[in-house]
Amino acid sequence: MERSQSNKLYEEAKVYLPGGVNSPVRAFRSVNGSPIFFKKGKGSHTWDEDENEYIDFCGSWGPLILGHAHDGVLNKVSEVMKNGTSFGAPSRYETKLAQLIVDNHRHLEKVRFVNSGTEAVMSAIRLARGFTKRNKVLKFEGCYHGHVDSLMVKAGSGLATLGTSTSAGIPEAYIGETLVLPLNDKAAVEALFEKEGQNIACIVIEPIPANNGLLLQDKEFLLFLRVICTRYGSLLFFDEVISGFRVGFEGASGLYGIKPDIMSFGKIIGGGFPVGAYGASSEIMDCVSPDGPVYQAGTLSGNPVAMAAGIAQLEECLKPNFYQELEEKTARFVRIVQDYVDVKGYPFHMFHVGSIFWLSFSNKNRVQSSDEVNPKSSELFRVFFDELLNQGIYIGPSSYEVGFVSQAHSAEDLNIAAEAIKSALDTTYAG
């Protein structure tokens, strides 16, 4: 595959941008070669600067549930954009998007729009602290919540619940109120709450952890978190930046039938534009400024163009059978691959929930915490990823990333991709 244009653009980008990118995983550091520069996308396909064509399963890391350049989204965006791109004052589109979300989500009464998933989580944590008047936050190893200072924390050694920072530039004091535990470990949560429960503002969790592989939790564990939060007066905060509007309109809370107290969103609600949101009951949301004492603001928050994209996308998602069809075609795609793997006996498993899938380089048929992920995955993935790319299939360039099937993926796309995965696995496990 010719990559000379991408390579040239990458060399230029490195002069002006750290690592040549604006978000680290894009830099291809976990795989061979250098990043591919894209110039066009339509439906399930993308084209790079060297005119190579791909079937895309990255989908901009989740937002593009309708595929690239969806006509309905583009039309709505162009219509709204003609009248100006930002006012810094209210417009009807903010209310319209909020109404679409709240009226179709049984656990939300009000939402506040921000500009990214990180901002949504950061603001929701502040709200949880402001509402409960407590400081401590419990998070889980293997869940990613954006680059919020106090959540860039990994578990400490042994039984310590106080973690260590995963980035330079974060003072110890900023993470001093963050407690970290392994996923799916009820006893550890119980023990922590016995000691610290009265001080814990919230438990934050990706109810479908999808940033360290797909670490599907037992519903019982999530229900247990609900119960313990209620018992101790802490808030249950579902970070649904990936799962929201992806595994169903009501995300993971709808899928599992669990009511969190606070939720954060991003990705899909912006239709490919930078949008995040957090939401809760009116009682909790009324603590946010200007109604309440928890300050949070944004120059471009609720930007009409981004809101228009979100409205157009979510209106499609609300159409009958939208999620059912996505789930069915993803399940079929996964089945084709898994049947082959089972016959071949490769130590590999393809997991999925709704239209999110993960390629796990291990024979474990359940992987529920980060320490169960095969540490050799990255090596195997490097070979696998090259093979897939050369066959015109684009997935996130890291073994820890999940893939996304969109409405635009046809049965033919999925058949082609399944065959490519099979042959890439043959090569990966040939050695």
Ligand X SMILES: Cc1ncc(COP(=O)(O)O)c(C=O)c1O
Q: What residues act catalytically?
A: 144, 239, 267
Give dist(CA 361, CA 399) in Å, integer.
Answer: 8
Give dist(CA 39, CA 24) in Å, integer.
Answer: 20
Please tell me whether residue 241 binds ligand X under the rule CB under 6 A.
yes
Q: State the Cα torsion 140-142-144-148 to the nearest 10°.
A: 60
Size of the site for ligand X (CB under 6 A): 15
Shortest Cβ distance from residue 84 to ligand X (Å)?
25
Please tell me whether residue 197 binds ligand X under the rule CB under 6 A.
no
Give the contacts of 49 (CB within 8 A, at least 6 positions apart).
5, 6, 9, 36, 37, 38, 39
Give dist(CA 201, CA 130) in Å, integer.
Answer: 9
Please tell me whether residue 402 binds ligand X under the rule CB under 6 A.
no
Shortest Cβ distance from residue 243 to ligand X (Å)?
8
Residue closer to ligand X (CB basis): 61 or 381: 61
Stretches 39-47, 52-60, 141-149, 381-389: which one binds ligand X (CB under 6 A)?
141-149
Say what angle helices 322-344 and 304-317 make with each other, to 10 degrees.
Answer: 70
Over the window 144 to 163, marking each residue x when it contacts ligand X by CB under 6 A and - when it does not, the resulting string is xxx-----------------
Stretches 44-52, 237-245, 350-358, 363-371: which one binds ligand X (CB under 6 A)?
237-245
Residue nearest to ligand X (CB): 117
Please tell me whether residue 247 binds ligand X under the rule CB under 6 A.
no
Shortest Cβ distance from residue 235 to ligand X (Å)?
17
Residue closer to ligand X (CB basis): 13 or 242: 242
Sign of the torsion formed by the C-alpha atoms of 351, 354, 355 and 356: negative
Residue closer to ligand X (CB basis): 94 or 240: 240
- Residue carrying structure tokens 């978190």: 225
- Cis peptide preceding 24, ω within 30 of 0: no
Give dist(CA 324, CA 423) in Å, integer.
Answer: 29
Binding site for ligand X (CB under 6 A): 61, 116-118, 121, 144-146, 206, 211, 239, 241-242, 266, 276
